[in-house]
Structure 1
Amino acid sequence: MLKILSILPTPVTTRLIQGIGLVRNPFTLGVRVIVEDEGNRVLLVRHSYVAGWYLPGGGVDKGETMEEAACREVLEEAGVVSATRPQLLNIFLNEEATGRDHVGLYHMSEWREADSFLQPNAEIEEAAFFALEALPEGLTRSTARRLDEFRSGRPPDGGRW
């Protein structure tokens, strides 16, 4: 399915994913994770089906906690295994997606590499660590906002993603 979505134009893919999600569940719950390495660099990923650099993350599956989803998503997307419980920073409403999408933002500072560490897969074209002062071009607006808040140590600017 991801291969089919990756060949469609990005706006079409985005609308299809959002539409399918709304049919399955009119309210969605997802997670994004700020993963830091020993040099205080942050992990970002580029997906095969949407443009831009994002914090790793995704949807919370049925029967799964947000914390479990955060750990699963960073493992699937970047080969990162959490060594301790990630810290919940905030829960946001993502109006840019559907207006019904809620995102839990976590911070993970203690982790280890899995065999698949930073390896591309069907969903992720690229995963890499970046210094907060040298973030890549194509960083999404929401990702930039969350990282700016994180870097400054100030609380999130409201509850909207």
Structure 2
Amino acid sequence: MALHHRLIGKAARLVWKVTKPRTFGVRAVLLDQNDRIALVRHTYTDAWYLPGGGVKKGESVEAALLRELEEEVAVVSPQIERVLGIYHSRREAKDDHIVIFAARTVSGPSSNLPKADLMEIEEARWFALDQIPASASPATVRRITEYRSGVTGLGAW
């Protein structure tokens, strides 16, 4: 894992403690044609996460999701099935709102999931829904469980 990315992350968290910014993000429960889920490990953390990221000023949540999926895992034009939930996180001293989408790739299954942004993504892989790695973040595991249960989520991240 890149030391400079960890240091930048620590510096950002210090700034957030002072400024307490409101942020807005998107993530996807992204499945392929074999019902495998896409997960990513960033260069600045060890846990596995759903792909996604921040919504830029003037950008719709749909446009942000499509941009993030292309940037992180090179998936273009997935079929968005539904909004899985909208969540609120106070982690890292931010006032963060996250919209989670359920989406599916439209191309045939691939054994590899490319990490498109080599500066941000350490690893990207497909996982069977019943074989999520133990190092997945707790919130990621909760979102996958909600998806598998057919629940629409709200509330705390």
The TM tier, using the shorter chain, reads 0.7 to 0.9
Q: Equivalent pairs: percent with the same residue?
A: 36
Is the alpha carbon distance of 1:97 and 1:32 closer, same or farther for their aligned partners in structure 2, counting shifts above 3 Å? farther
What TM-score do you get using the length of structure 2 for normalisation?
0.83
> CA–CA distance in 2 between the matches of 1:19 and 1:63?
27
Q: Which residue in 2 is equivalent to 1:97?
A: 92
Corresponding residue for residue 156 of structure 2? 160
Corresponding residue for 1:41? Answer: 36
Match of 1:146 in 2: 143
Task: Verify the 8 A CA contact 1:87 1:106 in the aligned structure 2.
Answer: yes
Distance 1:150 1:84, change over 3 A: closer
Task: Give the 3 Å change call, closer, same or farther, for CA 22–108 of structure 1 in structure 2.
Answer: farther
Runs of 4+ off more than 6 Å: 22-25
> Which runs of structure 2 are paired with 1:4-153 in the superposition (5 Å)?
6-8=2-4, 10=6, 12-20=7-15, 26-85=21-80, 87-112=82-107, 118-119=114-115, 121-153=118-150
Query: 1:19: how far off?
Result: 4.2
After superposition, the CA RMSD in angstroms is: 2.7
Structure number with the bigger relative contact order (C-alpha 8 A, sep ≥ 6) is 2
Q: Which runs of 5+ in 1 are unaligned?
A: none
Number of matched pairs:
153
**Structure 1 15/119 Cα, relative in aligned 2: closer, same or farther at 3 Å?**
closer
Ranges in structure 2 where 5+ consecutive residues have no aligned partner:
none
* Separation in 2, partners of 1:119, 1:8: 19
